[in-house]
Amino acid sequence: MPDSEWSISDTQPATPGATEESCDQESVRLMLRVREGDMRAFEMLVEMHQSAVVGTVTRMLGNVDDAHDVAQQVFIRVWKSAPRYEATAKFTTWLYTIMRNLVFNEMRKRTRRREVSLDESVFEDQPRQIPHPLAPGADVISQQDELERALDAAITALPEKQRMAVVLRRYEDTPYEDLCQILGMSLPAVKSLLFRARTELRKSLSAYLEDDRG
């Protein structure tokens, strides 16, 4: 099994900076065309970023169907906001800020629904229980798959801002400076947020990490 530091690392292999910059420049160029009402440019923009948005929202909400609904709202908001768009930041920073607002709104709606309803559908939305590594059936799942499932569940259990920061760092390799803008926080605050999130993940995954050291 991978060592504990890798298991709960907040980053994936970095995308080459030149490629990232080129992609962002293309996104800005398309968005400026969208601002002028270019529907084809909008479709190309959606094609470029839909997968990342849906993936991030899925990890935030834990439900693929809901993630597609929220992702659709994100791009509708992009289209409606186009006349006011100014290229003052990375396009993805602007896009993920829209996504953050809609995701947090959805999460808060879920919280309010739980407060007034105890039906079965509500419980399905709650964070999944993290399976113990010695649970029945664990031997038929590869250790790596088992650890990834536990990590996903642990991330889902984090508070919303911690969850967003971890998901964007781990799966989208979002730089700290961009996280500051997306979350509306200072750099020290973002680093502190991620430190607390990693601490909680280590606690949640302690059984796996102890098993790995053994």
Kindly indicate the confidence band of residue 12, based on its pLDDT and cuts at 50, 70 and 90: very low
The CA distance from 186 to 38, in Å, is 36
Q: Tell me the domains of the chain and their CATH numbers.
A: 14-126 (1.10.1740.10), 137-214 (1.10.10.10)
Kindly indicate the confidence band of residue 10, based on its pLDDT and cuts at 50, 70 and 90: very low
Q: What is the model's pLDDT at position 134?
A: 46
Helices (H), the chain: 4-7, 17-35, 39-61, 64-81, 91-116, 120-125, 143-156, 160-172, 176-183, 187-204, 206-213
Q: What is the model's pLDDT at position 60?
A: 94
Q: What is the model's pLDDT at position 139?
A: 54
Query: Angle 203-197-58 (CA atoms, 0-180°, nearest 5)?
Result: 105
Q: What is the model's pLDDT at position 17?
A: 57
Tell me the average pLDDT across 57-68. 93
Q: What is the DSSP letter of 16?
A: P
Q: What is the DSSP letter of 8?
A: T
Positive or negative CA dihedral for 21, 31, 51, 111? positive
Q: Report the amino acid identity of residue 35.
A: R
Q: Check whether 93 has a pLDDT greater than 50.
A: yes
Query: Tokens standing for 73?
Result: 């709202």
Q: Check whether 124 has a pLDDT greater than 70.
A: no
